[in-house]
Amino acid sequence: MVNLKISTKDATKVSYFGFYGYVFSKIINSIDFFSDVVSLSESIKLYKKIRKDWNNIRTLYRKIELEKPIYITGLARSGTTITLEMLSNHPDLASHQYKHLVMPYLPYWFDLMLNRLKISTESFERFHQDRIIINQNSPEAVEEILWQKFFENLHNEEMSNILSSDLNFPEFESFYRNHIQKLLIGQKASRYLGKNNYNITRLNYILKIFPKARFIIMIRDPLNQIASLIKQHNLFLKMELKNPYIIDWLSLLGHHEFGVGLKYINIGNTELIHKIRKLMKDKRTSVKAWAYYWNYIYKYISKIIENNQKIKDATLIINYSDLCENSEYTINQILDHVQLSHEDFQETKNLYCERLSRPNYYSCSFTKKERNQIIHISGNTAKKFGLDIH
């Protein structure tokens, strides 16, 4: 269960779990064939194990049909993590966890190994210093490691990062399905829950792979979201200065949202990306850069929902403020959209209704000029999502 207490620990200090996670990630990524070999070996062994258990074959078959996977996405700092933390407590769902960052290609065997050896880590506040306390079993965005293994230009700012429904990549699709199946079997769950902010450029492609997929897209009013983005970016810069290896580790994990390795998502307007990058270099115009970026991402989301009925039907937009201030109604909306049992989630829902609140550990300390810039740049897009900023 997620703990919403604030840690007083220095956020720039990295746990031993984080350091050893980097070491293992570096070794694995330095051996090109390693991930393919170990993943295939695990799949073959697991398949044989299932085949031997004829009494449960029907149940297992239902569990690995990959019906209606759930994807949480949106621009960073919009509430995607707390939504993942909350939904991961539903008994029907399996998700990647922090421990999978260390060995992402062995989701079944690695779990067994840690359980048998009784290896565990102490809970600690995650790098973001945002009240979320984690341990090795906490849900986390891991699947980007898998995507970037197969797609070379996912984070290339000089070209569109959009993956369309016309894309045909059987090798990845087979690997991805198989990987999710192993997560489901290992966690004895019937449906997959994934959080990946980069999936906003892959909605069409994901629907091609999983036609019944459900999307939860998180949004937050631009003033508060941009303030949070700036806070995180500066925090990561400070942390990376103190622990330089984190720059390389975040790149290996496919996390390019903050710090030295920040890479903007290109959704077809490279010229605007160049403009944002130029504005970001000057502290006097960095707020304006973030405003353009927020507007760029959510304007794209608005258009793709308006112009694509399949995506519109599969998508629920959740305002982070509604999740915090009108929790019960919003959580019920989510459960209905993704077609999850309310009864099995009642205890978790009650807990989050009691604890969810707007962040109080930072403030929007923008100048009047900066506030006006944000409102001017993002105001029209914000209104499309029912966000009234002033």
207, 311 contact by CB (below 8 A): yes
Question: pLDDT tens digits, residue range 205-217?
Answer: 999 999 999 999 9
Q: Are 145 and 26 in contact (CB under 8 A)?
A: no
3-state secondary structure 41-91: HHHHHHHHHHHHCHHHHHHHHHHCCCCCCEEEECCCCCCHHHHHHHHCCCC
55-61 mean pLDDT? 45
At 297, list the tokens. 């991402």
Name the residue among 144, 163, 164, 160 with its Cα closest to residue 266. Answer: 160
pLDDT at 380: 96
- For the chain, the straight-line distance linking the first and the last C-alpha, in angstroms and rounded, comes to 36
Q: Which long-range contacts (CB under 8 A, 24 or more apart) does 305-311 make?
A: 308/204, 310/207, 311/203, 311/204, 311/207, 311/215
pLDDT band at 63 (very low <50, low <70, confident <90, very high): very low
| 12 pLDDT higher than 80 | no
**Residue percentage of the chain with pLDDT more than 70:** 75
Q: Average pLDDT in the 361-379 region? A: 88
Region 351-368: what's the mean pLDDT?
82
Higher pLDDT, 48 or 204: 204
Kindly state the average pLDDT of the residues 232-238: 93
Tens of pLDDT along 248-279?
Answer: 888 988 999 999 999 999 999 999 999 999 99
List the domains of the chain with CATH numbers: 16-384 (3.40.50.300)
**% of the chain exceeding 90 in pLDDT:** 62
What's residue 106's pLDDT? Answer: 77
Q: What is the pLDDT of residues 16-43, one digit of tens each?
A: 555 666 666 666 666 666 666 666 666 6
pLDDT band at 139 (very low <50, low <70, confident <90, very high): confident
pLDDT value for 361: 59
Whether the pLDDT of residue 53 is over 80: the answer is no
> Over 80: is that where the pLDDT of 310 sits?
yes
Only one residue has tokens 């220095």, namely: 10
pLDDT at 363 over 80: no
Residue 110 pLDDT exceeds 80: no
Label residue 1 by pLDDT band (50, 70, 90): very low
pLDDT for position 24: 66
Average pLDDT over residues 93-116: 79
Please classify residue 77 by burial: count the beta carbons closer than 10 Å to its beta carbon, then call 0-12 exposed, 13-18 middle and 19+ buried.
buried
What average pLDDT does range 53-58 have in this prediction? Answer: 44
Tell me, what's the pLDDT at 129? 57
Contact between 83 and 330 (Cβ < 8 Å) = no
- pLDDT band for 358, please (50, 70, 90 cuts): confident
Report DSSP letters for 197-265, one per residue.
Answer: GGGGG-HHHHHHH-TT-EEEEEE--HHHHHHHHHHHHHHHHHHHHH-THHHHHHHHHT--SSSTT--PP
> Is residue 325 predicted with pLDDT exceeding 90?
yes
Q: Is the per-residue pLDDT at 4 higher than 70?
A: no
Looking at residue 212, its pLDDT comes to 96
Cα distances from 56 to residues 49, 250, 256, in angstroms, run 11, 40, 42
How far apart are the C-alpha atoms of 233 and 191, rounded to whole Å? 33
Q: Do 349 and 336 form a contact (C-beta atoms < 8 A)?
A: no
